[in-house]
Structure 1
């Protein structure tokens, strides 16, 4: 049974990666990063290292919060079953 769950996790990761680099999602990434960073996605201004680190940190917190909410929703739906 442990092998099947490992295969499922790998398949979910691969599907997520493929969907992330799809032509529908990939163009949205610069807008998402600029929104999280609080600055426009402009090619003319170079982002200092401190701002880049802050944007990455804020992105990680956003993903952590988003993931937590979906795990709670999934757990509550499983509890209803």
Structure 2
């Protein structure tokens, strides 16, 4: 992992996924998703919270063309693994 990605992962906020989706920055979605997966700064429950919040806001903020279905599948897969 290069330095830029490592810094992004280390500094991930508790509401990163939700923020990326709400601000419609879909190009950053997978980067934020991977950062949440890889960060050591969030405990198990905080990661589950990130996934739940993202699942709530994706339908209203992403279109199918932007990858809404794939995004939901990826989050649900991670949520089920952690739960």
TM-score, normalised via structure 1 length: 0.28
Q: Which has the higher contact order (CA 8 A, sep 6+)?
A: 2
TM-score, normalised via structure 2 length: 0.28
Greater percentage in helix: 1
Q: Which one has a bigger Cα radius of gyration? A: 1
